[in-house]
Structure 1
C-alpha cells in the first residue's frame, strides 16, 4: 500500500519534468488559405460526401465564382472569399456567408462548416472532370 502511495506522489513530478517536445499530440490540420484553396479547386467540379452519402457538388470557376448543387438539378451561383482561416461562400439565394475550414487529407479535400462547428464535415468524393447537371428554371404552363 505504501509503494502505491509513493508512486502517486512521484507521478506529478515526473509529468512536470516532461518538456513539450516529449509530448506529441495530434494537431488539427492547418487550414488552407485562399491562394491554396484557389489553386486546388479552380477549374474543377468536385463532388462531396458526408457519412458515406452523396452531399452535393460544386463547380469552381475563374475569379472565385462557384456553382453549387445538392445534386437535385437545382444550381446556385455564388462566389467565395477568404476570411481569416476560413473560406466563405455567398450564394444568390442567401446573402449570409457560409464559412468553412478546408484542408487536405489523404489527397482529398476536407471541409468543416464553421458557422456551426461539429455539425457538418464534408469530404471530396471525386473530381469527375465533367460539368455538373443544372436544370433550367422552373416555368409554369
Structure 2
C-alpha cells in the first residue's frame, strides 16, 4: 500500500499532472475494450505500438516492427498491469490519466505514453497470434 502511495505521489514529478486527472483502470478499460489504441511517447510523439483490447482481461500488442503478442490484463488497485506471452514481467503496470487531450498512461518507471488514436480496426501483425 505504501509503495502505491509513493508511486502516485511521485507521478507529479514525472509529468504535468496538474492538468491530468487519474482515472481507474476500470474507467480506462470502459474506453478501450473492443478498440485498438495507438501509444506514442509523451515527449517525443514517436510511435511505441498499438494494442487491441479484445476483452477486459486480454489484449494483442503490436510493436512498431509489427511483431504481436497476447497479453493478460490484471487490475491491481489504481494500476492496470499487462503480462505478455513474450515478456512475462509481472511489474509491467501503468496508471491511467485523462486530460483535455485524451488518455495518458504512466508506468512504474515513469515512462509516459499518450494514446494518440482509438479505432475499431484490428492490429496488423507480421506473425498474427493464432487464438
**Structure 2 length normalisation: TM-score?**
0.74
Consecutive unaligned residues of structure 2, counting only runs of 5 or more, are 1-16
**What RMSD in Å do the two structures reach over aligned CA positions?**
1.9
Match of 2:126 among 92, 110, 135: 135
Match of 2:105 among 108, 111, 124: 111
Task: Could you list the structure 1 runs, at least 4 aligned residues long, displaced by more than 3 angstroms after superposition.
Answer: 26-30
Deviation digits for residues 14-52 of structure 1 (CA, Å, limit 9, x no counterpart): xxxxxxxxxxxx747443223212201100101111112
**Distance (whole Å) between structure 2 residues aligned to residue 28 and residue 126 of structure 1:** 20
The residue aligned with 2:84 is 91
Given that residues 34 and 81 in structure 1 are in contact (C-alpha distance below 8 angstroms), is that contact kept between their aligned partners in structure 2? no
**Distance (whole Å) between structure 2 residues aligned to residue 89 and residue 28 of structure 1:** 26
Consecutive unaligned residues of structure 1, counting only runs of 5 or more, are 1-25
Q: In terms of Rg, which structure is larger?
A: 1
Return the structure number with greater relative CO, CA threshold 8 A, min gap 6: 2
**Structure 1 length normalisation: TM-score?**
0.69
